[in-house]
A and B are shown apart, each in its own frame.
Chain A
Amino acid sequence: MPRGIRSNFEYHVPADLGQALEMLKQYGPDARVIAGGTDLLPKVKAGVVEFGHLVSLKELKELTAVRFDGSGALHIGATARLGELERIPALRERYPALWEGIHSMANTQIRNRGTVTGNICNAVPSCDTAPALLVYDASVAVRSADGERTVPIGEFFTGVCRTCLKPEELVTEIILPPNDPRAVSVYYKYAIRKALDLAMVGVGSNVLLEDGAVKDARLALGAVAIVPKRAFHAEEAILGRQLTPELIEQAARIASQDDCRPISDIRATADYRREMVRLLVRDALKLAAGIKIEGLNDEAEN
């Protein structure tokens, strides 16, 4: 189909999850699901995607739920809107990197429609929620007409705009295990403008210090490899060691050299991206270590 032609599809509104899964089984790769549609619809309009059936999730109330369970884990329903999630104080307190990832996305309008599930299923390397989900060890609950499985977030992304999901599968929720309240976590999104831009580089971190030594560390990078991924080399460099300024510089360098493979495109060159990885990992670790990060005074910007 030549580019530019908007796909004509049949529109289905299943009344419950079972019905939705049956439809996905029936239509297979010729179906798409829609919650917010903020990634799907631009593609539909540009004519770069073609499918025969659209399955709406709007009547599936069970997918909208956001709750903390008995163990303190956070369950984010597949169709819970990003805007709603932003307005949950407990989410912001306990998972600040996720809150920041969500808040940094696009704009208010898009966030009032879009979902975290949609963000990860779209699976662009610059996915803003992915680094946080990675450093919080999230997992993804997947259902199909024939069964269910839980996928650790580290196994979810398989390539540029590719996930491990099969066509008939549906994500029902994302689960974040409780995070140690002593841990320091953050998400930095580096982009050209302070609004609307895709991340040129995204860095998530979740670091727990005990007596100045790194008890646990998770670092994740977005937009600098074919998938959002953990920075295992940098993590290894700091685990169990005192988080000194020198070690921070070293780890940041390792992250930029060994943990990513950025490309050059119209937004930035690969070298610039690497350098921003280095700076942002450095700042994330400084934050964890309680070292002051120099900023511009507040009359100008943060």
Chain B
Amino acid sequence: MKQRIELNVNGQKYEVFAEPNAMLADVLREDLRFTGVKKGCDDGDCGACSVLLDGKVIPSCTTLACEVQGREITTIEGVKQGNLLHPVQQAFVDCFALQCGFCTPGMVMAAISLLNENPHPTEAEIRDYLRGNICRCTGYTKIIEAVQTAAERMGGK
């Protein structure tokens, strides 16, 4: 039985009618049309669906929408700073940290979550924190460079 769910996404309140068994990723994609949230496996194993919950990265395909009412959800669409890209986004562009781009939204969200917690991560810490984000195209090298570049630019070093 569909029920009313109030979701706070990218700073805006949205009202959605969804089944209790609806996953956050599907509600975001289909009901609210945040198609930047990607589904790579729908099983919690690839990280493509990563969004932030109160600033921390979570797997939206394995989260019930009704469980996160009243919390702050951030998707890739909510990450820009006015008209400027978020430093992490800009670093991904500058460092060629993307190819097909399908893992990119989730990767950017995870990187933002990392830098929120640890503004000066080492390469090992970056690899460890992002290990739940699978990329088939880049081999991860330039993604790490991008996170390091973003950290520097955000005043980390």
Contacts and interface: CB of A to CB of B under 8 A. Distances in A.
Contacts of B42: 45
A113 B131 contact: no
A113 B56 CA distance: 10
A41 B62 contact: yes
Contact of A195 (B62, B63, B132): B132
A107 B21 contact: no
A56 interface: yes
B50 interface: yes
A11 B66 contact: yes
Contacts of A8: 1, 19-21
A10 interface: yes
B140 to A, nearest CB: 11
B87 interface: no
B3 interface: yes
A199 to B, nearest CB: 15
Contact of A107 (B47, B63, B66): B47
Contacts of B152: none
A85 to B, nearest CB: 13
How many chain A residues sit at the interface, stated as a range, is: 20 to 34
Contacts of A9: 20-21
B47 A109 contact: yes
Given A107-B131, A194-B131, A112 B66 contact: no
B41 to A, nearest CB: 10
B28 interface: no
Contacts of A194: 131
B129 interface: yes
A11 B20 contact: yes
A109 B21 contact: no
A40 to B, nearest CB: 9
Contacts of B15: none
A126 to B, nearest CB: 16
B132 A106 contact: yes
B42 to A, nearest CB: 7
Interface in B58-75: 58-59, 62-64, 66-67
Interface in A175-208: 194-196
B116 to A, nearest CB: 12
B132 A44 contact: no
16 contacts: A9-B21, A10-B1, A37-B64, A38-B62, A41-B62, A42-B62, A106-B44, A107-B47, A108-B129, A108-B131, A109-B44, A110-B62, A112-B57, A113-B58, A194-B131, A196-B131
Q: What 9 A-B pairs are tightest by C-beta distance, nearest first?
A: A107-B132, A195-B131, A11-B20, A109-B59, A112-B56, A41-B62, A109-B132, A112-B58, A109-B57
